[in-house]
Structure 1
Amino acid sequence: MPQVLEFKLPDLGEGLTEAEIVRWLVEVGDVVAIDQPVVEVETAKAMVEVPCPYGGVVTARFGEEGAELPVGAPLLTVAVGSVEPAGSAAESGSGTGAAGAEASGSGNVLVGYGTGAPAVRRRRVRPEGLQAEAAAPVTSSAPVPSVAPVSAEAAGSAVVPGGVRGPVAVVSPLVRKLARQHDLDLRQLSGSGPDGLILRADVESAIRSVAEAPRQAAVTDRAPVRPAGERVPLRGVRGAVADKLARSRREIPDATCWVDADATELMAARAAMNGAGGPGAGPKVSVLALLARICTAALARYPELNSTVDQEAREIVRLSGVHLGFAAQTERGLVVPVVRDAKARNTESIGAEITRLTEAARTGTLKPAELTGGTFTLNNYGVFGVDGSTPIINHPEAAMLGVGRIVPKPWVHEGELAVRRVVQLSLTFDHRVCDGGTAGGFLRYVADCVEQPAVLLRTL
């Protein structure tokens, strides 16, 4: 009486956990030889033909072409043993059935790693006692042997009760090769795969354990070595900023573009604003307030940069309100107060709110609501005497405009070399929300407003 063995999708190496059935190479009722390819699958790495480690008659297939199966899922079942029907012995020229001759299994799963057993011509058979198995997948009445422990010398195959070779603890030749290269005895490993299957991860873990053993032994009698020096705990504001910056670098694929702009006319416009109306005309207009108003105008033209990304939903969320954050350095660390509803404010209103929030930041009286909810950040690092920077985006925002110091530099103005007030502007943006064309358009508009403040009159 033949035994029906189940062949599962093996571990194909490289940490792959699933594969798609591209094409079946055998049908139910076909006779297969040991290591004969039975199915073509596609993984994240390549297309692979998977050989069956058993010789016999295919009694069932699991999964249609196009279906995706996880590693360890059943692929097909094979009846092994003496299954040659009457009259076929003469056809094969031997008194022994081909399926019976190929009853042993090799445990190999990739082409080129077989045992060298002779190929058997595919042919459909319907022997007595196999009609039910050939017509439908194996039920619980079909004996499926359990996985047996295996040694490295056994070439990946094991004998189960009844003298029939069955499923093995190591099916991937890549796993066996890796074990041989590092002199590992597979008999000493416990497999983490289905039915105790030894996976590549199990072998790699054993390799790391062997490599780390000498180092661990060397430090057993010694206390952990910690670098000397002053230790500053990452907690409070500094700790929160550290966590946020680390998360931004971890999650956001950022890019930066920059441009030099002639800020001479902007500085002249600011001087005119502050000189108009006499002593009682109100507070002075700051450069930061002008730049903030320019940002709100640019965001109205390029709303893609006033966004956030919902990671779980895999969606870009375009935000209706513009809540403009600005970086402020304090004794407690870097904070980013937020000017709420900035697009509804004029330059004077934005300036007044920036002044109020800056004073609250210096005195440590900012409320949590004044430090959260920003949709875009303006970073004036020019106050530190530097020209440029590639700042880290204030997560979960999508962009940040950086402004360097405004200094006299040689500049070609109206076709002649002149000394002008020049500033470097940089835009760091989340490349998921827009491409370089949008980011460049935003930055160019900001630069145009800096060079020609009259451009802003269209949006005031």
Structure 2
Amino acid sequence: MSASSRSSSGQAPTPRRSSSGEALAEPRIETPDAKVFALPDLGEGLTEAEIVEWLVEEGDEITVDQPVVVVETAKATVDVPCPFAGRLTTRHGAAGEVVQVGAPLVTVGAADAEPAMAGARQYREEERAGVDPAQAPREAATEPNGADAQEGSGAVLIGYGTGSGHGAGSASRRARRASTRRASSGPRSSSAGEALAEPVYRDDAGLDTASASAPAYSTSMGDSASVDDPTSVDEPTAVRVISPIVRRLAHEHGVDLAALSQAHGHGVLRRADVEAAAQSSAAAPGSVGAVAAPAPAPTRATGARSGAGEERVPLTGVRRAIAEKLSTSRREIPDATTWVDADATGLLAAKDELRKAYPDSGIGVLALLARICVSALRRFPELNASVDVEAQEIVRHGAINLGFAAQSPRGLVVPVVHDAHELTTRELAAALRDLTAGAREGSLSPAQLTGGTFTLNNYGVFGVDGSTPIINHPEAAMIGVGRIIERPWVVDHELAVRSVTQIGLTFDHRVCDGGSAGGFLRAIADGVERPVALLADL
């Protein structure tokens, strides 16, 4: 037995015994000052991340804010730093596994701590001392300014972490939620009938969990889960991790999310859970918001016969995120598409003139198209909008955060130029260049991939003329530009060869009608044909 599991006198503790007197096996435990760092809230409705690579081994000594793992979210690949210092005793998950927000990521002990044995259960201090945790003092759970609340750097991901100055109000709310969970969950029993105390992961309201913004998870689910499974959770009394899409779907179908969370007994509710509950409610009239049983796991399609050369590629990471977002857009947005051909000869001439005047600016066609979009959005703000379904409101955004589609080794991503309306054309060109390089390198942060209000898609780089782009949900419109190619064109009643492109606009018909959409598209086409007209708005 290691030093960390011995008493302060240096003698091994008395073996634990069941109510029948049978000696119970003593699993490896963490030191009292061990801390569990949970996967922090990733924002934008993200509820999980896939472990790509561990940067540290169990037993390594780490420092505050040292990156410990690389995870891939639906938005980007991120190095996650741990806000605690000490010896890393446990890595909760292997490369390729998906970790839910709020679930344990690593356990960090004192510098002299040893790695925990695989599958070992962690006991609370009161449990190790033979005291029923239900009767133990709870001052630590209600003290917002305890020592543990002050530890850690407060910086885990962008805007997430332990936090250094939580108010008494938020601490008391966390304490009340913890008390409610303790009161609602029944006692567990060993095989001999002995009631076992419920271990919990400690949070920053006086307990020892690193993620302030992520929900605290317990290590048990009653008799239906193994006590050695660190990913099992208590049946919650309140909804813990729910994406905005799931909330909206539940609101539309009148599903009680709190009741549904209790019925499922896990901290993450998915779209399939809500849809199953809605179907159950429809099948039983009069039971509004009825909670259905968990939906069965999907099975493989059997309609097609497997061929010898068939390959199955897991729908994970960015590819899965793209699939979910595009499916959401098609399902929720009543879109319409309109297009027009435009003479881009003037646009190419303007690009050449600007490059001569500013050789180091790197101004290209994409930067000029971005400038044209910003100008048109100022004239037609109804396209720089989104729909709040729950409030039944159209939200017109004050800032123009221009997203643009970029191909990367990880798949299609949409970097965002925030406050594009405040940038000059040269500044726009520089921002587009930097974001494109970051997309190719996979180094963009979540903040650089979120918050867009309108998207520009230059699919002409793939050698195609036109497309009907899918709106980047929850935005209200997307402009697409095809390749620029020489074609016969009538100029001043004479046939000439001009550089022509096709411009397509897909828009949410809830935010505007065809007249506004047509006016916006015509403003884009006019900017392409006569870029000098943009000077009136500069």
Name the TM-score, length of structure 1 as normaliser: 0.51
Per-residue CA deviations over 1:234-265 (Å, capped at 9, x if unaligned) read 11111111100000000000000000000101
| Alignment-derived partner of residue 236 in structure 1 | 317
Going from structure 1 to structure 2, the CA distance change for 1:331 and 1:322 (only over 3 Å counts) comes to same
Going from structure 1 to structure 2, the CA distance change for 1:193 and 1:380 (only over 3 Å counts) comes to closer
Per-residue CA deviations over 1:338-382 (Å, capped at 9, x if unaligned) read 001001111110110010000010011010111100000000000
Going from structure 1 to structure 2, the CA distance change for 1:417 and 1:230 (only over 3 Å counts) comes to same
Going from structure 1 to structure 2, the CA distance change for 1:247 and 1:450 (only over 3 Å counts) comes to same
How many residues are matched? 240
SS of the aligned residue for 1:448 comes to: helix
| Alignment-derived partner of residue 270 in structure 1 | 351
Contact 2:468–2:504 under 8 Å retained in 1: yes
Alpha-carbon separation, structure 1, partners of 2:303 and 2:467: 36
Per-residue CA deviations over 1:161-185 (Å, capped at 9, x if unaligned) read xxxxxxxxxxxxxxxxxxxxxxxxx
Match of 1:295 among 373, 383, 388: 373
Match of 2:534 among 425, 449, 456: 456
For the aligned residue pairs, the C-alpha RMSD in angstroms reads 1.8
| Alignment-derived partner of residue 386 in structure 1 | 464
Alpha-carbon separation, structure 1, partners of 2:377 and 2:350: 22
Per-residue CA deviations over 1:96-118 (Å, capped at 9, x if unaligned) read xxxxxxxxxxxxxxxxxxxxxxx
Matches for 1:69-88 after TM superposition, within 5 Å: none
Alpha-carbon separation, structure 2, partners of 1:443 and 1:224: 45
Going from structure 1 to structure 2, the CA distance change for 1:225 and 1:265 (only over 3 Å counts) comes to closer
SS of the aligned residue for 1:417 comes to: strand
Alpha-carbon separation, structure 2, partners of 1:423 and 1:344: 28
| Residue type at the aligned position of 1:352 | A
| Residue type at the aligned position of 1:433 | V
| Residue type at the aligned position of 2:355 | N
| Residue type at the aligned position of 2:336 | A
| Alignment-derived partner of residue 360 in structure 1 | 438
Matches for 1:215-234 after TM superposition, within 5 Å: 227-228=305-306, 229-234=310-315
Going from structure 1 to structure 2, the CA distance change for 1:251 and 1:417 (only over 3 Å counts) comes to same
Alpha-carbon separation, structure 1, partners of 2:314 and 2:393: 36
Alpha-carbon separation, structure 2, partners of 1:449 and 1:225: 51
List gaps (5 residues or longer) in structure 2: 1-282, 287-300
| Alignment-derived partner of residue 411 in structure 2 | 333
Confirm or deny that 1:435 pairs with 2:516.
no
Alpha-carbon separation, structure 2, partners of 1:353 and 1:265: 24
Contact 2:373–2:524 under 8 Å retained in 1: yes
Alpha-carbon separation, structure 2, partners of 1:454 and 1:293: 12
Confirm or deny that 1:403 pairs with 2:484.
no
| Alignment-derived partner of residue 249 in structure 1 | 330
Going from structure 1 to structure 2, the CA distance change for 1:237 and 1:418 (only over 3 Å counts) comes to same
Going from structure 1 to structure 2, the CA distance change for 1:244 and 1:193 (only over 3 Å counts) comes to closer
Structure whose alpha-carbon radius of gyration is higher: 1
Alpha-carbon separation, structure 2, partners of 1:287 and 1:407: 14
Confirm or deny that 1:342 pairs with 2:420.
yes
Per-residue CA deviations over 1:110-138 (Å, capped at 9, x if unaligned) read xxxxxxxxxxxxxxxxxxxxxxxxxxxxx
Going from structure 1 to structure 2, the CA distance change for 1:242 and 1:227 (only over 3 Å counts) comes to farther
| Alignment-derived partner of residue 233 in structure 2 | none
| Residue type at the aligned position of 1:289 | A
Alpha-carbon separation, structure 2, partners of 1:400 and 1:193: 41
SS of the aligned residue for 1:285 comes to: coil
| Residue type at the aligned position of 1:359 | A
Confirm or deny that 1:445 pairs with 2:445.
no
Q: Cα offset for 1:224?
A: 5.8
| Alignment-derived partner of residue 309 in structure 1 | 387
Contact 2:488–2:497 under 8 Å retained in 1: yes
SS of the aligned residue for 2:362 comes to: coil
Matches for 1:16-415 after TM superposition, within 5 Å: 227-228=305-306, 229-276=310-357, 281-415=359-493
Q: Deviation above 4 Å: which 4+ runs of structure 1?
A: 191-194, 223-227
SS of the aligned residue for 1:420 comes to: strand
Alpha-carbon separation, structure 1, partners of 2:360 and 2:516: 37
Alpha-carbon separation, structure 1, partners of 2:285 and 2:428: 62
Name the TM-score, length of structure 2 as normaliser: 0.43
| Residue type at the aligned position of 1:452 | R
| Alignment-derived partner of residue 3 in structure 1 | none
| Residue type at the aligned position of 2:461 | V
Going from structure 1 to structure 2, the CA distance change for 1:227 and 1:419 (only over 3 Å counts) comes to same
Alpha-carbon separation, structure 2, partners of 1:192 and 1:350: 56
Q: Cα offset for 1:226?
A: 6.4
Going from structure 1 to structure 2, the CA distance change for 1:434 and 1:192 (only over 3 Å counts) comes to closer
Q: Cα offset for 1:227?
A: 4.6
Alpha-carbon separation, structure 2, partners of 1:230 and 1:353: 39
| Alignment-derived partner of residue 161 in structure 2 | none
| Alignment-derived partner of residue 217 in structure 1 | none
Alpha-carbon separation, structure 2, partners of 1:225 and 1:378: 39
Alpha-carbon separation, structure 2, partners of 1:283 and 1:446: 23
Q: Cα offset for 1:283?
A: 2.7
List gaps (5 residues or longer) in structure 1: 1-190, 195-222
Alpha-carbon separation, structure 2, partners of 1:288 and 1:440: 22
Alpha-carbon separation, structure 1, partners of 2:411 and 2:425: 27
Q: Cα offset for 1:314?
A: 1.0
SS of the aligned residue for 1:365 comes to: coil
Percent identity over the alignment is: 64
Q: Cα offset for 1:326?
A: 0.2
Q: Cα offset for 1:192?
A: 5.6
